[in-house]
Structure 1
Amino acid sequence: MAHKLAVVREAGFSRFHGYERPLPELPAFWHCNQARCDPGYVLAHHAHRSVEIIYVISGSASWTVDGEPVALKGGDFFITRPGEVHGGVIGPRGLVNYAVGFDPKILPVPHASSPRRLATSRGDGDMVQAVSEACAADNHLSALDRRIIPGGHGCEAILSRLMHELDRCAADDERQRLLTVSMVQALLVELLVFVTRCSLRRNERQLPQRRSEAHDFSEILAWMATRVEHPPSLGETARRAGLSPAHFVVAFKRSTRQTPLEAMTLLRIEEAKRRLRARPRRAVTDIAIGLGFSSSQYFSLVFRKVVGCSPSQWQARSG
């Protein structure tokens, strides 16, 4: 059962709602909360055992991280790494934010004991790819301030859905709980991809592309299309392109206007549509497993985001 921290009203906070170690089935997931801090409140310096991503919805703050000053404003992502001491003063208009703590090293490997969970080692590939792309983009931005990533407006939709899933998690209903675990995993993937996009957009603005650095990834895209059932890792794809993972992520995004994970997802969904059309009686679950998705629920979520309707609805319309 998720350990809930009740909604509170105490000195410094007009609202705090969150969870610590929400899902034992997802040990990489440390905490998730939403807070409304009062103007002028001094947040005591503290550290976490995990990476923490703070997204600022509105307001501002002047903090320090290991003694270095940072300024936060609406739309910023603020990232701290394990053990980094941070805290400071909330701005004159207060601060409204989400905070998510997780361990990227073990994030791709949640497993449930129930045989009803449609999980395989390759089914965790989207999470692995998202983490890899996020890390590669971060490495490529070594010349920039990696602690603050601006331009996150819109991310609150992902984070509010994440909080909603935790709010509705039922400890005594195994089926519903497994669905929650799948949904939370999918939302963490979405969050990481969102942060990566913001990083890449910032890099594109600050480091304009030179004509000599242009790349043609048509052959890579054609090769990726042959791997829809067994999506390649970021490292494998980068090696095939003859680039380092960090360089590949940024160059691919510049050339195709999408990340490698986004491109692979579109290719898999196109193949899913082909299979749904070719065999209208085939179960959606079979197609999800055949294309390496970790669950039919996650497959349906991704399909809906790309196509605008569920696989079953699309199948019925195409029939």
Structure 2
Amino acid sequence: MPEEIEFEIVPPVVKDGSSFEQITHRSSHRLFFFPTLENTGELLYCSCLFEVHWLRMADYRRKNLNTLGVEYVKEGSLLAVQNGREYRVGTGEIFLMRPGCESEIHTGPEGHCRKNSLALHGPLLPAVLHASGLDQVDKISEIDHAGFEALLERFRVLSTEPDRMIRRKNGALSYELLRFLQFPQPEHATPERFEKIAQSLAENPGQSGDLNTLARRAGCSPNHLIREFTRCFGTTPGRYLHGKRMQRAAELLLEHPELSVKEISSAVGYSDALNFSTAFRKYFGNSPLQYRKSHS
């Protein structure tokens, strides 16, 4: 387990009959933030994507908030309670913290949980949830993981764009997310050979990612690989690998402060630390050292 770096009990926040409180106990976290769209006329929007590694005792409770919280478990589990009903949310499952409900999530029995959290807002949200039936859904177990990961990556990329582009694209992408939650099962099964390519890129982001090499491993032409990989995962193999490299670099910056930027750049497949720093700044909006300092 990574070294524990943060433990904090946040006092309850109460406003207009709604409230939330939390115990922050985590080893790493990343926030992809979107400029506030409240009071701008936006009917539906996502305010943030939060990636966090919870440790034992981490806890979050909310009551009567008008947002939809989407909790996607990447590793470990959550124990959740909503309107008196209890759930265990395992790896690869989603829990919806519905608007107006009394909800609670905390670390599962494994003692840790890597998860992605999104917060959806807007005056259109209640109507969409009701029309789709999501206002009666707490937990989603069978999902198209590749499709959902592709959606998360699009939110990450969106957070790096100029404010005007975020305002233009955020609502449409938020609606796509809600539609995914309504129809979460895969429309087409992902062929095993492409699943293995994606898994290899995610687990070994330091590899070269040469398209011809990947195509040979998949037993197809480079053009066929690009077409089918994009259909299955929503992005090309190169962009997919780039996202995994940046995510792994961010983890190393926070979890291994003893590593230099040059060492981290090499670990994620860059031979030149300057090129890595430029790519990292473009992806996250901060240099590697600024990112480490702001999250320490």
For Structure 1 versus Structure 2, the TM-score category normalised by the shorter chain is 0.3 to 0.5
More strand by share: 2
TM-score (norm 2): 0.33
TM-score (norm 1): 0.31
| Bigger Rg, which one | 1
